[in-house]
Amino acid sequence: DAVRIFTAENSGKRQAITAEMTIKKAPNSKPGYMVLFGTGKYVSAADPGNKDVQSLYGVWDENIATGTLNATRTDLVAYTFGALITANNTRASQQQAAVNSGKTWYATTGKKGWMIDLTCTGCAAGERFLDKPLLNGPIAYFLSHVPSDDPCTPSGNGWVTALDPNT
């Protein structure tokens, strides 16, 4: 039987998960797996105008055979992006030492993973995740898109976010 491990929502609004998830072994000899995914959708004409904040997630599936483990955002370590750096069109990332007293999520009692909201100072609103996270060695790559507000114009911009999913 399936057991819900997480409900993706931000500010009381459910976040759509429309792309395939990536599964990897849990870090640090923890039982179970890490489920890597992002939220957002781009399938209807109204979607480009939706500016709700979407997120990237790494949620620990403890592989519990019975019961319900339905983690929420408060059960995750929250990371953020820094401001847009226009000189090279990048956004700063928050160093682990500045978050959670420098501890990884799995070294923190009660935490079930991590999350990053897809927003930053100076970045366009409406970023969403639309593809399967890619694993290459210890790094996970998340490809996201910020569509044009015009549904008839196939343009916009996007980001490639690379991170260590174990932190």
Answer for the pair 3, 68: CB distance below 8 angstroms, yes or no: yes
Q: Give per-residue burial for 45-77: e unless 16+ CB within 10 Å, then b.
A: eebbebeebbbbbbbbbeeeeeeebebebebbb
What are the pLDDT digits (tens) for 64-101? 665 556 788 999 988 888 777 777 777 766 555 456 66
What is the DSSP secondary structure assignment for residue 17, as one 8-state letter? B
**CA–CA separation, 143 and 55 (whole Å):** 12
Could you report the per-residue pLDDT of 114-147, keeping only the tens digit for each? 999 998 888 888 999 989 999 999 899 999 999 8
> Rounded to the nearest 5°, which phi and psi values hold at 112?
-120, 20
pTM, rounded to two decimals: 0.88
Identity of residue 18 = T
* Residue 136, strand partner residues: 139
Helix/strand number for the chain, H first, E second: 0, 13
Q: Is the dihedral of CA 53, 98, 36, 135 positive or negative?
A: positive
Q: Are 157 and 124 in contact (CB under 8 A)?
A: yes
State yes or no: pLDDT of 4 exceeds 90: no
In 3D space, the residue among 88, 68, 83, 71 whose CA is nearest the CA of residue 34 turns out to be 71
